[in-house]
């Protein structure tokens, strides 16, 4: 490329001189993670943290050893959803993840701040570096699966995560609105450029079931999930409703009590891809 700076860490182009594996960072020496799944979107406010939490709860309910890396450094919400208020502790130059009630290990910037509402006012390079350090400096122990709650967009942090952490796949989150196709297209485009497999699409706020009459209302317009699944080749699809119970559980830090059946299809695809990977080894 004519304008190439030869610094691939700042570039998302998939050119012939690029070697993705050369930027993969080693995980902490006291950690072993079998699979890593990122949960991403092209914009904020679509429910990535909710989908991340539900997938983690589902995996834990299946008896797996689960971790959550909250890469949304400036807007972390994972600890709130799980009711985690403890601060992460450091030992011998490493950081110990915080445990949820069911035993999910998580690391988030809010686990390091003195007060949960303290702002993180950093430039992009520092924010991206913090996300990487959650991979390299946290003693995760042995995990079957780790979910990464990604920040919105395709900027510094998503690029750094895609380059630095060996991802097994990505789940894309959307909502049923007119601009959703552009949003999904950006996230899909980044995953394909970085050679990360698409595992599923979750359409959040897809509908609302009236508790009085039982009718289904598509408040944000007709669902586009099936069309997007076919267009971009997602193996799995989940449609998540607007749910007062899920909202309450999230606000009260009790997301581990939520019903995860609605996300089951995507989790099944994650498990199917794991079996394919294992057979290929």
What's the chain's length in residues?
281
**Closest alpha carbon to 107 in 92, 90, 123, 125:** 90
Print pLDDT tens along the chain (281 aa): 334 433 444 454 444 444 544 689 999 888 999 999 999 998 888 999 999 999 999 999 999 999 999 999 888 899 999 999 988 888 777 899 999 999 999 999 998 876 666 677 777 788 888 899 999 999 999 999 999 999 887 788 889 999 999 999 999 999 998 777 788 898 999 999 999 999 999 999 999 999 999 999 999 999 999 999 999 999 999 999 999 999 999 999 999 999 999 999 999 999 999 888 887 76
For the chain, list the domains and their CATH numbers.
28-280 (3.40.50.300)
Whole-structure pTM value: 0.89
CB 227 within 8 A of CB 252: no
Closest to 243 measured CA to CA, from 232, 259, 264:
259
Which ranges constitute the DSSP H helices of the chain?
Answer: 48-61, 78-82, 124-136, 156-164, 180-193, 225-232, 244-251, 264-280
d(CA 22, CA 198): 22
pLDDT of residue 204: 95
Nearest to 39 by CA among 134, 155, 138, 168: 168
End-to-end Cα distance, the chain: 35
């Amino acid at each position: 490329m004519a304008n190439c700076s030869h610094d691939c860490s700042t570039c998302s182009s998939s050119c012939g001189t690029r070697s993705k594996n050369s930027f993969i960072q080693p995980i902490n020496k006291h950690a072993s993670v079998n699979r890593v799944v990122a949960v991403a979107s092209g914009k904020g406010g679509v429910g990535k943290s909710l989908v991340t939490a539900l997938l983690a709860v589902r995996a834990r309910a299946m008896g797996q050893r689960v971790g959550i890396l909250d890469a949304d450094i400036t807007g972390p919400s994972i600890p709130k959803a799980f009711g985690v208020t403890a601060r992460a502790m450091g030992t011998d130059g490493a950081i110990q993840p915080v445990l949820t009630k069911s035993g999910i290990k998580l690391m988030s910037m809010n686990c390091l701040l003195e007060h949960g509402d303290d702002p993180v006012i950093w430039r992009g390079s520092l924010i991206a570096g913090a996300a990487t350090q959650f991979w390299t400096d946290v003693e995760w122990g042995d995990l079957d699966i780790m979910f990464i709650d990604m920040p919105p967009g395709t900027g510094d942090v998503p690029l750094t995560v895609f380059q630095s952490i060996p991802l097994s796949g990505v789940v894309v989150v959307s909502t049923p609105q007119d601009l959703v196709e552009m949003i999904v297209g950006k996230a899909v485009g980044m995953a394909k450029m970085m050679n990360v497999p698409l595992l599923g699409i979750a359409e959040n706020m897809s509908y609302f079931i009236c508790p009085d009459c039982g009718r289904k209302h598509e408040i944000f317009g007709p669902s586009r999930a099936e069309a997007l699944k076919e267009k971009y080749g997602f193996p799995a699809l989940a449609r998540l409703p607007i749910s007062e119970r899920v909202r309450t559980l999230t606000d009260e830090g009790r997301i581990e009590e939520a019903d995860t059946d609605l996300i089951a299809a995507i989790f099944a695809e994650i498990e199917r891809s794991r079996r394919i990977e294992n057979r290929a080894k």
